Amino acid sequence: MSAQRECGACDLCCTLLRVDALPKLAGVPCRQLRPGGGCGIYERRPQVCRGYRCLWLRGRLEDGDRPDRLGAVLDLRDDAGAPRLEIREARPGAFEHSERLHEIAARFRGTIPVRISATDDVMNPDAPFRLLLPDGSEQRVVGDRIETRRDGRLEIARMPWARRLLRSGLQRWRARRLRRLHARGSEY
């Protein structure tokens, strides 16, 4: 594997990232993207864009796993000491239809959870996601409904109240932020 990599034709994180300096919300394509691809302000792109390095760019995946080829951006996240692999699909069904993404997920799932969601849903607390857990079980979360598949059995539960509370707080924060950005004349 090579550690010296260039993004080349990939621009998937230009949808994923939140860039306050523009401003741009997470999960929407950047208005600075040129129609043929690439950044229209590359030489003076904000620090957030310069600093972001997905798992592939950091040399943690094979050379052929560049996100635009995989159809997903991969990252390692750490939520208060709980690491996980984040797979953000750039197109619906990317994970389902990719043997390579399944291989990568299986490798990481041996030790940490793998979360699968969509690149453009990053700011939406209601967005559905899948969680593949090291014990072999899988969760599908839609709204506050959690389906858990374990040893061939399906359990359905409602999200615990603390997570529901956090989710509704995030929804209010997101609505406030969207209103503020609209008031500033940004379409984002």
Which stretches of the chain bind ligand SF4, using CB under 6 A? 7, 10-14, 17, 19, 30, 32-33, 39, 41, 45-46, 49, 52-54, 56-57, 66-67, 73
Q: How far is the CB of 187 from ligand SF4 (least distance, A)?
A: 14
User: Which residue, 56 or 108, has its beta carbon nearer to ligand SF4?
Assistant: 56
User: Would you say 45 or 140 has its CB closer to ligand SF4?
Assistant: 45
Could you give the C-alpha distances from 108 to 16, 33, 104, 114, in angstroms and in order?
22, 32, 6, 7
Give the three-state DSSP class for 85.
strand
CB of 153 to ligand SF4, least distance (A): 37
Closest approach of ligand SF4 to the CB of residue 67, in Å: 4
Give the CA count within 13 Å in the CB-facing half-sphere of 140: 6
Whether the Cβ atoms of residue 160 and residue 150 lie closer than 8 Å to each other: no
- How wide is the angle at C-alpha 132 spanned by C-alphas 12 and 70, nearest 5°? 25
What is the distance between the alpha carbons of residues 119 and 93, in angstroms, rounded to a whole number?
12
**Based on CB atoms, which residue is closest to ligand SF4, 46 or 125?**
46
Half-sphere exposure for 163 (CA within 13 Å, toward CB) = 11
Smallest distance from ligand SF4 to CB 112, Å: 20
- Closer residue to ligand SF4 in complex, CB, 50/153: 50
